[in-house]
Every structure is written in C-alpha cells, then in structure tokens.
Amino acid sequence: MIDYQGQNYQDVIGQQGLVVVQYFATWCGPCKMLKPVLESLSTELNDVKFYRVDIDLFRNQAIEAGIRSVPTVVLYKDGEEVDRQSGYQPKERVQSWMNQFR
C-alpha cells in the first residue's frame, strides 16, 4: 500500500488495471480500522495497486474525487472510476467487492 505523496494524480488513478484509493484522515477512527484490512489485501492481490490519500494533506485531490466522508475507498479501472464505498467494512466484504472489478 502506497501513501500518496503529491505526484501527478492522473498518473496514479490512470494506471491500467484496478487501482484502489483509500481517502482517509489521521483523526478518523474508522480509517484506522480499515487500514490493516487494505494493507492485508494489498499483499494478497498482486494485480491490484493500492494507494492512501490523506485528505488533510491533499485536499485538492479529495475535492476532485468528490470525497464527502472518510474513509472512502474508490476503485479505478483503466483510469475510470468504477465504484466507491464509504465507511469501515470487514476484509471479506471488501475483497468480495473488489473482485467484482478485477
């Protein structure tokens, strides 16, 4: 799982294949609960790229993505948003959701 550091955002979300982006805040409890779920999946799903975007540090990216609450996980496939979910979800549910788009 890669922490977004301000590189060209289109280079991140515009990659081929499935890209998972967690929009989070350091003060958000459910974000902290979701982090190990996504980290675990990032080691298991080698064909999927995982990123985290801190909405307080990278406000413009959060606004551009239409983030209204955290945590929000957005799935991008071949550069296009295909789905999003907000709030904490257990690992099995997150993996099942992602597998629909792989």
**pLDDT mean by block of 10 residues, the chain; 102 residues:** 94 95 97 97 96 96 95 97 97 96 91
Catalytic member of 13, 31, 62, 65: 31
Determine whether 59 is an active site residue: no
Q: What pLDDT is recorded for position 76?
A: 97
Q: What pLDDT is recorded for position 74?
A: 97
Q: What pLDDT is recorded for position 13?
A: 93
Determine whether 96 is an active site residue: no
Catalytic member of 20, 28, 38, 65: 28
Tokens of 25: 């805040």
Mind spelling out the 3-state secondary structure of 20-60?
A: EEEEECCCCHHHHHHHHHHHHHHHHCCCEEEEEEECCCCHH
